[in-house]
Structures are given as C-alpha cells and as structure tokens.
Homo-oligomer: A and B are copies of this chain.
C-alpha cells in the first residue's frame, strides 16, 4: 500500500435542493476527494480555510485518518459556494461564489509529503496545479481535474498543466469543449495528444470512459434511485480512483479499469447524501459491496468470450 496527496479547494457550501436549503455544509474538491481516497490508502490533504472554519469539520477529516497537516488556516473567511439544483438534479445554477481566503491560495506541500507517489490536483487554477508539481519529487501518477472556467479563461496555463500530468479526468461536455469535437473517440484522441497518457471522461449517470493509448474501457454508472445532492460526485470519483491506485501501488491497465469502477462506487454513495453526509457514514466494506454490484451490473461475457477477446 502506498499513499496519496490531494490538493484542491476546501469550502463551505450552501446547497438548495428538492429537500430544502442546507447552509454552510462541508464541501470543496479536496474534501470530497480526500474522503473518497481515505477508503483505500493513507491520504494527505493540502488546502486553505479561513478562521471561521469549524473545528469539528477538521476533526471529521482527522477521524477518517486524513492527514490535515497541509491544511492552512489563515485570517478571513473560508471559500463559500452557494448553488441551487433543479428538481430532477440534472442541472444547477450558481447563486454566489465567494473565493475569500481561497483567492490568494498558493499550495504549500509540507516537506514530509513531497515524496507522495500518487497526487491529485483538484479543480483549481492550472498555474496552481503546476505549482504543486514543482514541489513534488518524482510522483508515480498525477491526476488532474479541470472545468470550463479554466478552458475558457486560462487556456495557455491549462495546456501547460496538461503537458505535465499522467491522467486527465474531465466531464463529457467540458471534454468536447476543450477538444472542439463532438464525437467522443475523436475528443479523447485529441485530449491524449495534449499531454496526458490517460484520459477519463466522466458521463454522470452514463458512467465513465477510460482511454489509454488505443485501449478503451467503458464503465457503467450505478443506477441510483435516490440521488439527493450531486455536489462532489466528480471529486469523489477521482479521489476514489486514485485511492485505489495508491492501495494497489500499480498503474497497469487492469488496475486502472478497476480504479475507475471503485471511483464510481464511491461517487455513487456520495450523491445519496447532502454534502459529505453519506460519504462519511459509509464503510470500506460497503464500498466493496458496491464494487461487486458494478461487477454484476456489467457482466455478460463468458470465460470463453474473454479468452477469445484477449487473443484478438
């Protein structure tokens, strides 16, 4: 077993969903990804919060054995995002984004963490993602997430970041936007040509696609009948994926495929509760059960089929 380092936002979110309003609940890409990673391997979080950040939220992370020695506390208010989901939870509008102390964030990786082999660069300014890499010594695998805001706003920095990572995780719409292609195969090929040797395209309720060279893996989504809050699903997915990779301490094709499914398993729990509520109550054994649910969900080939497929 190895360990992972997660850098990203730590936030207090105000979420409006079909159940009502949930003010100042725990959020942020680094929080969801760390909680997801912590099911599998020792997890280190790097981020920043303001002096308003409640102690019990830090304790909640510590209780999951997440190393928060890289969590800076500075004067001011914590990053606050407020958003409203449509009743069917398929779309959301941002009401306010108050960057607060996050506006001046420059990630400082504690010296003891600079040898972490598996690194997740959460969805922050691509130049900050590069700043993290400058502080890390010979990582085995670096995953980065990004979003339309950086695709539109800082395309040059985004391309510089993409040239330095191993695996890009990106949602489908943003992948098409970044590649300026509609067809998903052509999109993936274009993203691979921009630097990362692996691309994972998140398709929400349609699962995920993993591309590495000419190899393609299609992971199903778990059919959840009680989605409450999609916030953090993508971050849980990436964090769970990297956590599994760190636990196995391998990056071969078969491990990556299973990592995508473990990430999906964690994300499928994440959306069943508001904020981190479900994520912190789930056990590693429940994550394993859901992984097996995915195996049942996707299985069709006979042993003979698989043997013939492996030859082809």
Interface assignment of A298: CB less than 8 Å from any CB of chain B: yes
Interface assignment of A92: CB less than 8 Å from any CB of chain B: no
Among B207, B209, B289, B308, which residue has its beta carbon within 8 angstroms of that of A218?
Answer: B207
Interface assignment of A282: CB less than 8 Å from any CB of chain B: no
Question: B-facing mask of A276-312, CB < 8 A → 1, else 0?
Answer: 0000000000000101111111111101011011101
Interface assignment of A266: CB less than 8 Å from any CB of chain B: no
Closest to A215 in B: B296
Interface assignment of A163: CB less than 8 Å from any CB of chain B: no
Interface assignment of A250: CB less than 8 Å from any CB of chain B: no
> Please, how many angstroms separate the alpha-carbon atoms of A303 and B182 in the complex?
36
Q: Which residues of B contact A183 (CB under 8 A)?
A: 88, 225, 227
Interface assignment of A95: CB less than 8 Å from any CB of chain B: no
Among B289, B292, B296, B300, which residue has its beta carbon within 8 angstroms of that of A298?
Answer: B300
Interface assignment of A223: CB less than 8 Å from any CB of chain B: yes
Interface assignment of A151: CB less than 8 Å from any CB of chain B: no
Closest to A260 in B: B300
Question: B-facing mask of A219-258, CB < 8 A → 1, else 0?
Answer: 1110111010000000000000000000000000010011
| Number of copies of chain A assembled together | 2
> Please, how many angstroms separate the alpha-carbon atoms of A203 and B185 in the complex?
17
A289 to chain B, nearest CB (A): 7
Among B182, B258, B312, which residue has its beta carbon within 8 angstroms of that of A300?
Answer: B258
> Please, how many angstroms separate the alpha-carbon atoms of A295 and B308 in the complex?
9
Interface assignment of A186: CB less than 8 Å from any CB of chain B: yes
> Please, how many angstroms separate the alpha-carbon atoms of A283 and B245 in the complex?
41
Among B292, B293, B309, which residue has its beta carbon within 8 angstroms of that of A295?
Answer: B309
Closest to A297 in B: B218
Interface assignment of A90: CB less than 8 Å from any CB of chain B: yes
> Please, how many angstroms separate the alpha-carbon atoms of A151 and B90 in the complex?
24
> Please, how many angstroms separate the alpha-carbon atoms of A207 and B218 in the complex?
10
> Please, how many angstroms separate the alpha-carbon atoms of A130 and B227 in the complex?
38
A177 to chain B, nearest CB (A): 14
Among B90, B216, B312, which residue has its beta carbon within 8 angstroms of that of A289?
Answer: B312
> Please, how many angstroms separate the alpha-carbon atoms of A4 and B1 in the complex?
54
Which residues of A176-209 are within 8 A (CB) of B? 182-186, 203, 205-207, 209
Q: Which residues of B contact A221 (CB under 8 A)?
A: 218
Closest to A89 in B: B182
User: Given known contacts A206-B203, A295-B306, A312-B292, is B300 in contact with A185 (CB within 8 Å)?
Assistant: no
A306 touches B299 (CB 8 A): yes
Binding site for B on A (CB under 8 A): 88, 90, 182-186, 203, 205-207, 209, 216-221, 223-225, 227, 254, 257-258, 260-261, 289, 291-301, 303, 305-306, 308-310, 312
Top 5 closest A-B pairs, CB basis? A218-B220, A295-B301, A185-B225, A206-B206, A257-B300
Known: A207-B218, A293-B312. 5 other contacts (CB 8 A): A254-B300, A292-B312, A294-B301, A295-B306, A295-B308
